[in-house]
Structure 1
């Protein structure tokens, strides 16, 4: 599962030149579903902002009428779900992130953990699907069973793609073990509220 994540640091990258300078945004450390996030199709020059909560093109009501929880999609069955099967074929994208959060513990005393890259590249590349509903671009993050790196924190995780897997995903691959090689690490961070933001949210603390 992925319910909160962090903007990537794209300074000096190809994506900074193609997107960030056009529509500059401060880096966010507490992105929530329904907020706009950067999605990258097979052509990075066409990177765009999309609402993080997918609405399929065939939805007939208004935006608030879409009640399904679709900010995440299970990679194991997205290809056959009515909500996702069209964009599984035609709407694949990458969603770059600086990391994401998961929580452990009992309700009312949950401990947040920041999950970040353990590789040389700071950015995590999530497998995503993008859907255009009316004039609004929307998206979802694919999830998979957690690897050993984070299974003690949560049983699900985003599909984090390495360089080879990114090309394969965008080209239509449906390999069942996509994301199995993700190099990630985690540490507990101070508790934070819905509207808190800033780099201090990912500073390590004693759990």
Structure 2
């Protein structure tokens, strides 16, 4: 699972990565926004995501960068935000296409969550799993920026005057790099694989698997 991550690269990294794939990032006013670095993004924080400007066309019509709440509130929730108790920050790869909170978004509203790192925690004393923990910063050497495949949703909670947009990111069983630290991990994609994720007729669930051994590095933080 993933309960914290960060993004520290300039927005030019995103623009350049997708320009090489002939997938431009388009901005409504024509001006490139200033994307502030954020070392620690936690659930309920607003965070940048990339999504197709026209979801029905996948990435073909270009991408847009928006900031949404991390912790998906499904479209059918009508109560206040705090009344939604399910931990929908992470969508399990095994059930992402069938879980009621995610299945419509999986079919219609996919996104990419750019990141430069994420965090995991392990107990300092294995005999005390609920005691003090070591925080690990996880990076992908050779990939300054990588992408979590995700889903976005729009809901109308009773305590919001306007619609609320939020997102979740996909997790899978831990691969060889992560398994010494946790039993699950976020899925990691590069820009090319990310473009495939946004294609609603593409491989979809088949992409939601751990990366090859040696992709990720853990550093005590």
Other-structure match for 1:42: 52
Change (3 A) 1:11 1:90: closer
Distance (whole Å) between structure 2 residues aligned to residue 30 and residue 14 of structure 1: 19
Change (3 A) 1:175 1:71: closer
Change (3 A) 1:12 1:177: closer
TM-aligned CA deviation for residue 45 of structure 1: 4.0
- Structure showing greater radius of gyration is 2
The answer to whether the aligner puts 1:111 opposite 2:143 as a matched pair is: no
Normalised TM-score (structure 1): 0.82
Instruction: Report matched runs for 1:3-152 at 5 Å.
Output: 3-15=3-15, 24-43=34-53, 45-105=63-123, 106-118=129-141, 120-134=142-156, 135-152=163-180
Normalised TM-score (structure 2): 0.77
In the alignment, structure 1 segments of 5+ residues that lack a partner are 190-207
Distance (whole Å) between structure 1 residues aligned to residue 88 and residue 8 of structure 2: 22
In the alignment, structure 2 segments of 5+ residues that lack a partner are 17-24, 54-61, 124-128, 157-162
User: Structure 1: which 4+ aligned runs deviate by more than 4 Å?
Assistant: 14-19
Distance (whole Å) between structure 2 residues aligned to residue 55 and residue 175 of structure 1: 21
Distance (whole Å) between structure 1 residues aligned to residue 143 and residue 207 of structure 2: 21
CA-atom RMSD in angstroms: 2.1
Change (3 A) 1:18 1:107: farther
1:61-95 deviation line (CA, Å, top 9, x unaligned): 12122111101110110111011000010110000
8 Å CA contact 1:161, 1:179 repeated in 2? no
Change (3 A) 1:13 1:124: closer
Distance (whole Å) between structure 2 residues aligned to residue 41 and residue 11 of structure 1: 15
